[in-house]
Structure 1
Amino acid sequence: MNRQKLSGVKVNFLQRRYGVSLGRRYVLAAASVVLFSVLGCSQVNNNTSALAQSDLPQSESPLPKKTVKPDTRLVNANNKFGFKLFSEILKQDSSAENIFVSPSSIAIALAMAYNGASGSTQQAMAKTLELQGMNLQEINSSYAALKGLLENPDEQVQLTIANSLWANKDISLKPDFLQKSQDFYKAKVTNLDFKDATAPNSINNWVKENTRGKINKIVEKIKPDEVLFLINAIYFKGKWSNEFDKTQTAQHPFYLISGGQKQHPMMSQKGDYRYYENEQFQAVSLPYGADGKISFYIFLPKQNSSLKALYQNLSLENWQKWMAQFSKREGFIRLPRFKTDYEATLNDALKALGMEEAFSNQANFSGFGKNLSISQVKHKTFVEVNEEGTEAAAATSVGIQMTSLRQKPEPFRMIVDRPFFCAIRDNQTGSILFMGSIVEPQ
């Protein structure tokens, strides 16, 4: 058997042994793509498969068993990174349009890339991702455990997390990196001929399938110096624990930042909710499914405040304080039915958060091979909120290129008729899956 055929056999073996087969489920979706290209003196061997450097060894670090509680250090790191990134996006996006991102998806994709980082590049990524104090083994094990905890669907709430690795057939990658991607992130491994015009379709079809058609395309085209894509896909679809009565949906005014207003379909409901308010805002938790494991959170600035003031106080510390003060309260909620999508390039935001070296010629991703740096991080999302529940999706593409018990209070009234912040949170682990700024419902 010649070397080329041997490489193909190994790839097929890896796909059979490690490939993740995700059935068609209904859930909210986020997909993150990490793309790598060779820098300067390329390590590409035209006759060597990315997976054929050597037979992959058996894992020396078996996956941890499912635990009752997640590693709070990782959950806090992801949430803190999410708030920092959201703040940077707000600074750099002056369009006054809806923003909706998946910090969990972006963090998982970058965590897979982090496995290849070394030296000062690794330190910079750890600072940006808030992973200081955790070693690589702890990070990977915690992500593996967290995936198992999050993927705990019931009939009304389903959540899937999928990862994949797409390598140019001519690139040689380190077996240790491939092993970690498969063991801890359950990544499907595939070799492609990146010169083939159909290669992007193969990647995009995987993203489309694992976001249930909500993200159709994340890779427009593959540039000559690009050699690797790491992709994360999260898809979630949840029915409200108490669905809104469609006959109660009616046109009401929604007040815009510009001072104008628009008539918009607003859903209404009375009931008992987990609720919190202070001088600055009202906040309510709308649960999904029978157990309320995941909820949709709405933060509505009061008339004498603003979204800008809320965002100035949006941090991990304040978020944890707010979450601890939610309590059951009877009330009335009216909120817009809406659907929106969002797209942004995150290079500048991540550089501002301390990851500039990872985009430069000084980048060190020797865990993959030599001479690699990130070229582009692109993020796409989708969300729809209606009387039945919520569906959402996100995709992130990271490219690497060649270089050279109290007294019962009065019932509350919460009329969400002006711009608001929202988040979808897994209440068991505390993980924030999605967050957004809705300034004009569509």
Structure 2
Amino acid sequence: MNRQKLSGMKENFLQRRYAVSLGRRYVLAAASVVLFGVLGCSQINGNSNALADSKMPQSELPVQKKTVIPDTKLVNANNKFGFKLFSEILKQESSEKNIFISPSSLAIALAMTYNGASGSTQQAMSKTLELQGMSLADINSDYANLKSLLENPDANVQLNIANSLWVNKDVSLRPDFLQRNQDFYKAKVANLNFQSASALSSINNWVNDNTQGKINKIVDQIEPNQVLFLINAIYFKGQWSEKFDQSQTAEHPFYRASGQQKPHPMMSQESEYKYYENEQFQAVSLPYGKDGKVSFYIFLPKQNSNLKAFYQNLNAENWEKWLGQFTSQEGLIRLPRFKTDYEVTLNDALKALGMQEAFSNQADFSEMGKNLTISQVKQKTFVEVNEEGTEAAAATSVGIVATSLREKPEPFKMIVDRPFFCAIRDNQTGSILFMGSILEP
């Protein structure tokens, strides 16, 4: 048996390992889509079919082991980018609207796109994504290791990350760009006839399948000048380490930012939690699974404060500082059952963070093909929290078209009966998978 056949068998085995059958409930999913088009009538670089794997250079495959911790630079970069993005969205959204995003899904989709950027466009994306000082090889390798480490961390916490590239059959992209996305991001690459009605269904069906039905549509239409979609999907299924007793759930008032109140089902539990409190807010970590490798974090402003004041101090530096002050403490938590969905176009936020050129006719994605520019970045999300766990979904589309030992204290009481900030974090890597502003459950 030759070496090439052995390599193929090894790759098929690894892919089957990731094809884990995930359940239907308590799901957290995210999908990111990157859309590409051609400027005018110009041709994409090269004449070979985009899937001509036999002609692709064989880049060095990443070594993926559960024990490999990715460079903290990448996790720190993603979290810093996530908080910057969240801050920009807050500026643009209504003060009465729930917000819930997946900075991790967007960062992965943009990292795949980054593999095609060059010149000043690459520099602008590097600055926006906080990747300065990291080589492309390091970024790709660290993402491969991070994916391996994040997936399925616990018997009761399942996480699957899937990537795909959908190429118009009339377009050829640079083989090394496609190969890097296949090698490091395990991206599925497929050719479609974008003029066919079935192309839209094929793309959206993949997103639906890889988010367990939580995001059933991310691409609304395919423009005539569209050449490529890059999609990231994250699926999370987690049960609380200690489920809430449904018999303890009762209606209590929830106070909106306006001061108005409404009766709402509130879950209650007394236990020992990782907890932190200062003059501005209370914060608690609710773990998933047996080992608490992933947690749901809630930051509740004090009665004399509010979310607006809290967000003035919310950044990556303070986030790490606050997490370092969490300690185990007994207490009571009362948390609303809530469900919300959210959709946002991220063009303006990313431009404000420094990616203007990537959206312009001056965009340089020559490492991918000729005359490409980003047209739209959009994210859809869904989240539900109840007594047993968390179910949520996010889909992000990025389109390119024509030119994230002390003295035992008194038990705390944390009544989450007013607007709050929340985040879902992988505690072993520090990666923030989701974050949100819940103004009304």
Give 3-state SS (helix, strand or coil) of 2:55's partner: coil
Paired amino acid for 1:315: N
Q: Share of identical aligned residues, percent?
A: 76
Deviation at 1:68, TM superposition (A): 3.8
Distance in 2, matches of 1:49 and 1:17, equals 26
Equivalent residue, structure 2, for 1:98? 98
Paired amino acid for 2:242: N
Equivalent residue, structure 2, for 1:333? 333
Deviation at 1:237, TM superposition (A): 1.3
Is the 1:50–1:170 Cα contact (8 Å) retained in structure 2?
Answer: no
Aligned positions of 1:176-195 closer than 5 A:
176-195=176-195
Deviation at 1:255, TM superposition (A): 0.2
Pair 1:288–1:17, CA change in 2 (3 A): closer
Paired amino acid for 2:387: E
Aligned positions of 1:46-57 closer than 5 A:
48-52=48-52, 55-57=55-57
Distance in 1, matches of 2:211 and 2:301, equals 32
Aligned positions of 1:121-270 closer than 5 A:
121-270=121-270
User: What do the CA deviations read for 1:17-61 (whole angstroms, capped 9, x no partner)?
Assistant: 997873431341000001111113521499852223862232235
Distance in 1, matches of 2:264 and 2:126, equals 43
Deviation at 1:80, TM superposition (A): 0.3
Equivalent residue, structure 1, for 2:5? none
Paired amino acid for 2:140: N
TM-score normalised to structure 2 length: 0.93
Equivalent residue, structure 2, for 1:9? none
User: What do the CA deviations read for 1:406-441 (whole angstroms, capped 9, x no partner)?
Assistant: 110000000000000000000000000000000000
Deviation at 1:354, TM superposition (A): 0.3
Pair 1:425–1:46, CA change in 2 (3 A): closer
Gaps of 5+ in 1: 1-12
Is the 2:44–2:370 Cα contact (8 Å) retained in structure 1?
Answer: no
Paired amino acid for 1:194: F
Distance in 2, matches of 1:117 and 1:406, equals 51
Distance in 2, matches of 1:429 and 1:411, equals 29
Is the 1:256–1:440 Cα contact (8 Å) retained in structure 2?
Answer: yes
Paired amino acid for 2:159: L
Paired amino acid for 1:22: A
Pair 1:408–1:273, CA change in 2 (3 A): same
Is the counterpart of residue 297 in structure 1 residue 279 in structure 2? Answer: no
Paired amino acid for 2:267: M
Give 3-state SS (helix, strand or coil) of 2:197's partner: coil
Paired amino acid for 2:22: R
Q: Which of residues 18, 22, 33 in structure 2 aligns to 1:25?
A: 22
Is the 2:69–2:145 Cα contact (8 Å) retained in structure 1?
Answer: no
Deviation at 1:198, TM superposition (A): 1.3
Paired amino acid for 1:88: E
Paired amino acid for 1:186: K
Equivalent residue, structure 2, for 1:38? 38
Paired amino acid for 2:240: W
Give 3-state SS (helix, strand or coil) of 1:91's partner: helix
User: What do the CA deviations read for 1:48-85 (whole angstroms, capped 9, x no partner)?
Assistant: 52223862232235445444422110000000000000
Equivalent residue, structure 2, for 1:7? none
Equivalent residue, structure 1, for 2:434? 434
Distance in 2, matches of 1:168 and 1:16, equals 25
Is the 1:46–1:170 Cα contact (8 Å) retained in structure 2?
Answer: no
Pair 1:242–1:281, CA change in 2 (3 A): same
Distance in 1, matches of 2:177 and 2:341, equals 34
Equivalent residue, structure 1, for 2:109? 109
User: What do the CA deviations read for 1:140-198 (whole angstroms, capped 9, x no partner)?
Assistant: 00000000110133221111100001000010111100110000000011100000011
Paired amino acid for 1:55: K
Is the counterpart of residue 373 in structure 1 residue 370 in structure 2? Answer: no
Length, aligned pairs only: 427
Equivalent residue, structure 2, for 1:354? 354
Distance in 1, matches of 2:156 and 2:12, equals 31
Is the 1:52–1:172 Cα contact (8 Å) retained in structure 2?
Answer: no
Distance in 2, matches of 1:58 and 1:262, equals 60
Is the 1:226–1:400 Cα contact (8 Å) retained in structure 2?
Answer: yes
Is the 2:211–2:393 Cα contact (8 Å) retained in structure 1?
Answer: yes
Distance in 2, matches of 1:429 and 1:60, equals 24
Paired amino acid for 2:337: R
Equivalent residue, structure 1, for 2:4? none
Out of 147-156 and 236-245, give the one that drifted further. Answer: 147-156
Equivalent residue, structure 2, for 1:321? 321
Out of 35-44 and 51-60, give the one that drifted further. Answer: 51-60
Paired amino acid for 1:107: A
Distance in 1, matches of 2:92 and 2:301, equals 22
Distance in 1, matches of 2:227 and 2:41, equals 14
Is the 1:47–1:170 Cα contact (8 Å) retained in structure 2?
Answer: no
Distance in 2, matches of 1:19 and 1:176, equals 21
Pair 1:273–1:253, CA change in 2 (3 A): same
Is the 1:34–1:397 Cα contact (8 Å) retained in structure 2?
Answer: yes
Paired amino acid for 1:25: L
Is the 1:210–1:235 Cα contact (8 Å) retained in structure 2?
Answer: yes
TM-score normalised to structure 1 length: 0.93
Pair 1:269–1:18, CA change in 2 (3 A): closer
Pair 1:45–1:353, CA change in 2 (3 A): closer
User: What do the CA deviations read for 1:214-251 (whole angstroms, capped 9, x no partner)?
Assistant: 00100011000110000000011110000000000000
Give 3-state SS (helix, strand or coil) of 1:198's partner: helix
